[in-house]
Amino acid sequence: MELCVRASSLLLGLLLQLLSSVDVVSAAQKFGINYGQIANNLPDPTQVAGLLQSLNVNKVKLYDADPKVLMAFANTGVEFIIAIGNENLQSMAGNPGAARQWVTQHVQPFLPATRITCITVGNEVFSGNDTGMMASLLPAMKAIYAAVGELGLGGQVTVSSAHSVNVLATSFPPSSGAFREDLAQYIQPLLDFHGQTNSPFLINAYPFFAYKASPGSVSLSYVLFEPNPGVRDPNTNLSYDNMLYAQIDAVYAAMKAMGHTDIGVRISETGWPSKGDEDEAGATVENAAAYNGNLMQRIAMNQGTPLKPNVPIDVFVFALFNEDMKPGPTSERNYGLFYPNGSPVYAINTGAGGVSGRTGPFDPYSAQMFSSASRLAMTSGMGVVVLLGALFL
């Protein structure tokens, strides 16, 4: 109950800010949250279920298939994306029986009480250099897809995999988006699979990394969805006022170059850290609140990208809690919207007011404006993505 009370006090203030400017119901429908557990101080899953229900969160993404979490959310109506770790890909690729056993053990027992709607097979597999794992990804996905069908769950559960934006070799201008040549042999058949199964292509995108890499040449307003001059794609004449949308459209362009216009793009991770090391420019509470708040406002408006204006963006925010045991720089442990005790890390600023004195020179045609995040995207799985829009119901 303590978690719910603290969350509710935060919600009251935020709700008053939002009622006059955004459609909170739309926000709830489009935002999801990553629920990571790389920490030693997180509340019990039953408490988390209560917290998210009090926030009207209805979409959650896990990095595993934790039975305690799935049981805790039974009969709540929350939709779950669950995951198969990279370490399991090669065994499943070569043994369809192993895939069926996994689905039998980690999916079937929890349906229909817990709404499992998607299984992600592997996370950012193409970000490493393990070609054996890369070659195993699609066969493992096909094995899981077959198992889901054989068990009569095909109408309920889709199969996909999450990728870092560094699968793109070119991302500016967005219309010139292209996948890396060294990955083409893996991505082309992967896209064919998505087209055949009507499943989404999942991307983990973090504009924060572009700003962190070059704060002097990347506009902070541009990456935070705040007022800025924007950039224009010379090939399509489409205008972009934020990096995330440009990255999404670059993925669409890359898929089109491989013959696919029939696959949707879903942002499986995005977020901004509230704290970082001295060399992590932009990792502040103020910027985290601005990024997540402004993004929530865009999603609540059912806004699409310039290339796909009629296709509302589907986003899972990273993350629900700060995770104190994550390795790497300080920012890795500070993406949460909440501390483990249920208190908010910051109050989300839903306005898109300009911020003066915080932006570097705006160079829209710098390659880093669109591709730094791709090159520097995290290669480790990030645990939790929050249904931000639901925070305001």
pLDDT, tens only, 216-247:
999 999 999 999 999 999 999 999 999 999 99
Tell how strand 385-386 and strand 315-318 pair up: antiparallel
- Tens-place pLDDT, residues 157-172: 999 999 999 999 999 8
Q: Is residue 156 within 8 Å of residue 110, measured between CB atoms?
A: no
Question: Which residues, 6 or more positions from 288, have their beta carbon under 8 angstroms from its beta carbon?
Answer: 271, 272, 273, 274, 335, 345, 346
Contact status, residue 61 vs residue 35, Cβ threshold 8 Å: yes
CA gap 91, 85 in Å, rounded = 11
CB contact at 8 A, 371 and 172: yes
Which of 194, 316, 315, 317 is CA-nearest to residue 254? Answer: 194
Residue 275 has pLDDT above 90, yes or no: yes
Label residue 1 by pLDDT band (50, 70, 90): low
pLDDT at 55: 78
Give the long-range contacts of residues 364-369, CB within 8 A, separation 24 or more: 364/229, 364/230, 364/231, 364/232, 365/172, 365/231, 366/214, 366/217, 366/218, 367/172, 368/210, 368/213, 368/214, 368/217, 368/218, 369/172, 369/210, 369/217, 369/218, 369/219, 369/222, 369/231, 369/243, 369/246
- Select the more confidently predicted residue: 388 or 255: 255
Backbone angles phi, psi at 221, to 5 degrees: -60, -35
Task: Judge whether residue 390 has pLDDT over 70.
Answer: no
pLDDT at 26: 42
- Domains of the chain with bracketed CATH: 27-338 (3.20.20.80)
How many other CB atoms are there within 10 angstroms of residue 101's CB atom?
Answer: 13
> Long-range CB contacts (< 8 A, 24+ apart) of 131-134?
132/90, 133/86, 133/89, 133/90, 134/183, 134/186
> Which residues are catalytic, by number?
124, 269
The answer to which of 11-20, 104-113, 203-212, 357-366 has the lowest mean pLDDT is 357-366
- Which pLDDT score is estimated for 150? 96
pLDDT in the model for residue 168: 97
Where on the phi/psi map is residue 142: left (φ > 0), alpha (ψ -120 to 50), or beta?
alpha
Residue type, 95: N
180 in Cβ contact with 165 (< 8 Å): no
Contact present, 208 and 251 (Cβ < 8 Å): no
The reported pLDDT for the residue numbered 186 is: 98
Please indicate whether residue 28 or residue 177 has the higher confidence score (pLDDT): 177
* DSSP conformational letter for 73: T
Peptide bond into 312 cis (omega under 30): no
pLDDT score at 381: 28
What was the pLDDT predicted at 4?
54
Q: Could you tell me if 386 and 31 are in contact, meaning their C-beta atoms sit under 8 angstroms apart?
A: yes
| pLDDT tens string 325-347 | 999 999 999 999 999 998 999 98
Confidence of residue 132 (pLDDT cuts 50, 70, 90): very high
Q: How confident is the model at residue 355 (pLDDT cuts 50, 70, 90)?
A: very low
Which residue do the tokens 């058949």 mark?
189
- Please tell me the predicted confidence (pLDDT) of residue 53: 83
Neighbours of 66 (CB within 10 A): 16
CA distance linking residue 320 with residue 174, whole number of Å: 30
Mean residue pLDDT across the chain? 84
Q: What pLDDT shows up at residue 391? A: 37
Q: What is the pLDDT, as a whole number, of residue 184?
A: 97
pLDDT digits over 24-38, tens only?
Answer: 444 444 579 999 999
Checking if the pLDDT of 362 tops 70, the result is no
User: pLDDT at residue 281 above 50?
Assistant: yes
Q: How confident is the model at residue 30, as a pLDDT? A: 56
Q: Which tokens sit at 116?
A: 């499992």
CA 217 to chain centre: 25
